Amino acid sequence: MRARWYFWALGVLLVGLIALFPLRLALDMAAGPHSLLAARQVEGSIWSGQIGEAMLGDERLGSFDVAAHPLPLLIGSVRADFERVGGLDGPLSGTVHAGTGSEGVSDFNGRLNVSQILAPLPASAISFGDATMLFDDGSCSEASGSVALTASMGLPDMTRSLEGTLSCAEDGRILVQLQGPRGGERLSLWLSYDGAYEVDLTIEGAPPALRAALAMAGFSEEGTAIRLQQGGQLQ
């Protein structure tokens, strides 16, 4: 009988520790030492917390409400729902996965500014619809959903909106394939687990003035098309 009470008391203690586990510590554990994610203010527990002034590299994300799922914690994983509160960029929500097993995001919806983290790629924002981007042991294990990217070279007539989908590439990277409404603009973007990316952007049938301007921005002439190929690191 006494042993039963010891186990019951230990169970109550463990539940209490988990219930009061600080969100700041959970965020540091999930993000890891080389993560681009940072926050100036973190308050509350993993069950009901708030992240204020979150940053992804040099890009401001805003403030979020965060709530963890209890069961994954039992196997050393973190799954937490997040939702942006306020801010000028509109809603942004999803579920972050970290720890053992798959890492990344799922059910990702909303608009994310990327002009800083994808520099020097001339992309200003990416919108996600029910997007999932998960890695397992550094290799893409699941990628799906819709993506819309807004790119601009700094001139009104050079703004482009491209839409497409997410998938896993054969080499283990996440692949984003987009095209413009007329099919003349095509973009492929590969994203690795470590944040390295590679982009291939082709524009068919651009007028001479636009071709000249894009050539100055680093595009090369390829027959009737102009093309930009470059790689970089999310920053």
pLDDT at 101 over 90: no
- Which range, of 56-70, 112-126, 151-165, averages the lowest pLDDT? 151-165
Q: What's the mean pLDDT when you consider all of the chain? A: 76
DSSP string, the chain: -HHHHHHHHHHHHHHHHHHT-BHHHHHHHHH-TT-SEEEEEEEEBSSSEEEEEEEETTEEEEEEEEEE-HHHHTTTEEEEEEEEES-TT--EEEEEEEESS-EEEEEEEEEEE-TTTTTTS-EEEEEEEEEEEEEETTEEEEEEEEEEEEEE-SSGGGEEEEEEEEEE-TTSSEEEEEE-TTS-EEEEEEE-TTSEEEEEEEEES--HHHHHHHHHTT-EEETTEEEEEEEEE--
- Encode pLDDT of 36-48 as tens digits: 566 666 777 666 7
Residue extents of the structural domains in the chain = 1-101, 103-235
